[in-house]
Structure 1
Amino acid sequence: MQPSIELFGIRIDEPVTTATDLLVGITCLICAFKLKKLVRTLWIHKAIFWYFLLMGLATIMGGLMGHGFLYVLGFYWKLPGWFLSMIAVNLLERVMIHFSATELSPKMLRFFSIFNLVELGFFMLMAFGTLNFLYVQIHSTYGFLVVVFSFCVYNYRRGHHPEIMKNMMWGVFWIFICAVVFVGKLSISIWFNHADLAHTFMFIGALYFYKGSKGILKSPE
């Protein structure tokens, strides 16, 4: 467990973990508002903005309510951050599904669109029912590695915006490294533990998702 610190007389638990969560969260919010300038009326454009906005809010809440001040707020205050992050991941899945619409049959597009909502509902219920972060992790792993990455590969192989797909795939790669570090509890020291290292890779992944998302917003589709 990372030692607590006091700042201006205020106790902060897991201070580096809190700080790295805030780094990721603030980065996502900056990306959201930079991308907002490119958002047009298309649903997919709005979904991209909301992905970054919700992921930013989720990681900031995770840092403050799930780590830094959990001792004041209690365990249940972890849940808002969990659920916002799950909705954010789901939105990015839907972005990739609908960005692939020209490459899919109407039946396949409908199937993936419906299954995407069923999957979100299932994992949210499991996380709420068990109060276990494992289901948040499984949902993120499924969303990024199975859905987002698979659609990126599918589009890339069909020559559908290959540069955009490469950036999105790099984003998923860094999220995968993040998951490996977090699950394997690979840490540098007590002051830079597995969560801090994982957040660092999340930060890199967010930058690649930003580059890919900017490409999607600028594309004619």
Structure 2
Amino acid sequence: MVDPQPSVYWLGLRIDEPVTTLTDLLVSAVCFYAWYKLGKLAAGSKSLLYFRYYFLLMAVATLLGGLVGHAFLYALSFSWKLPGWIVSMFSVALIERSAIDYAKTYVPEKVGKFFLRLNVIELLVIMSITLYTLNFKWVEFHSGYGLLAIVFPFHAYVYYKTKDKGSRTIIFAVAIASIAALIFMNKIALHTWFNHLDISHTLMAIAAYIFYKGALKLYSTKH
């Protein structure tokens, strides 16, 4: 555990947790880039649409997280963290739907429909709990569930069936995101100016870029 990051001042404006803010904005920039680039693909599948808007919503969520949740939260109340949290939950729900839709050729139709319905139910239930408790742990839980219980197994199954290089890349991205989550949960820090939040955000940015590369492989060759 390290000391909190000191605030910095720019043109008289106080900015709390400056490196944490910057690393959140790094994630946002990578996600905005991925959303923009994927929009140039000719493929018109639902799976691609879901994946692309996962990036857009995650970009918005981390932008809000950096600016509202960290840099300027001192001027607001704690509940102002909620918009970023909620948007991030919607984004994770979209990457879940993308994985389910992509795998629909290889899984029984009933299985796909079940998980698409479950996707909506778990989002609404966990979002309601988050709004009631104002506890970020539920956002973490939803993200972990979405990536490890949905995205990973569906793409692992596709890879098992087809050796799809895109699915293999997605699996690698999930692994990087999982390491980021472990560092965050265990508060593993290197320094005051590069704490557990900064490390996890940096790994999230790397994972986001790998997700993007995986998406390019998925949709440049299929659908």
Superposition deviation, residue 40 in structure 1? 4.0
Aligned to 1:135: 138
Q: CA deviation at 1:43?
A: 2.1
| Cα distance between partner residues in 2 of 1:200 and 1:188 | 13
| Residues 95-134 of structure 1, C-alpha deviations (whole Å, 9 max, x = no match) | 0001000111111111111011111111101110100000
Q: Distance in 2 between matches of 1:62 and 1:146?
A: 25
| Counterpart in the other structure of 1:207 | 209
User: Alpha-carbon deviation of 1:219?
Assistant: 2.7
In the alignment, does 2:198 pair up with 1:190?
no
Give the structure 2 partner of residue 113 of structure 1: 116
Name segments (4+ residues, structure 1) moved above 4 Å. Answer: none
Q: Are 2:77 and 1:74 equivalent residues in the alignment?
A: yes
AA aligned to 1:181 is I
Aligned residue type for 2:22: A
Q: Which runs of 5 or more residues in structure 1 are unaligned?
A: none
Cross-structure match for 1:99: 102
In structure 2, stretches of 5+ residues that fail to align are none
SS of 1:185 mapped into structure 2: coil
For residues 42 and 195 of structure 2, the distance between their equivalents in structure 1, rounded to whole angstroms, comes to 37
Which amino acid is the alignment partner of residue 215 of structure 2?
S
Q: Secondary structure at the match of 1:120?
A: helix
Q: Is residue 7 of structure 2 the alignment partner of residue 10 of structure 1?
A: no
Conserved in 1, the CA contact under 8 Å of 2:167 and 2:218?
A: no
Partners of 2:11 and 2:221 in 1: how far apart?
48
Q: Do the aligned partners of 2:97 and 2:119 also contact (CA within 8 Å) in 1? A: yes
Cα pair distance change 1:190/1:118, threshold 3 Å: same
Partner of 2:171: 169
Using the alignment, how far apart are the partners of 1:11 and 1:220 within structure 2?
Answer: 49
Q: CA contact under 8 A between 1:39 and 1:45: conserved in structure 2? A: no
SS, match of residue 222 in structure 2: coil
- Cα deviation digits, residues 127-147 of structure 1 (max 9, x gap): 101000000000001111111
* CA distance in structure 2 between the partners assigned to 1:192 and 1:57 by the alignment: 23
Q: Distance in 1 between matches of 2:182 and 2:42?
A: 34
Matching residue within 65, 69, 83 for 2:68: 65
Retained in 1: the 8 A contact 2:170–2:214? yes
Compute the displacement of 1:199 (Å): 0.4
SS at match of 2:9: strand
TM-score, normalization by structure 1: 0.97
State the percentage of identical aligned residues: 43
* Equivalent pair of 2:43/2:220 in contact (CA under 8 Å): no
Please say if 1:51 is aligned against 2:51. no
CA contact (8 A) 1:39 1:49 kept: no
Question: Counterpart in 1 of 2:28?
Answer: 25
Can you list the C-alpha shifts for 1:28-60, whole angstroms capped at 9, x where unaligned? Answer: 001110111115433222212111000011001
- 1:12 offset after TM fit, Å? 0.3
SS at match of 1:186: coil
* Cα deviation 1:72-93 (Å, max 9, x = unaligned): 1221211111011111011001
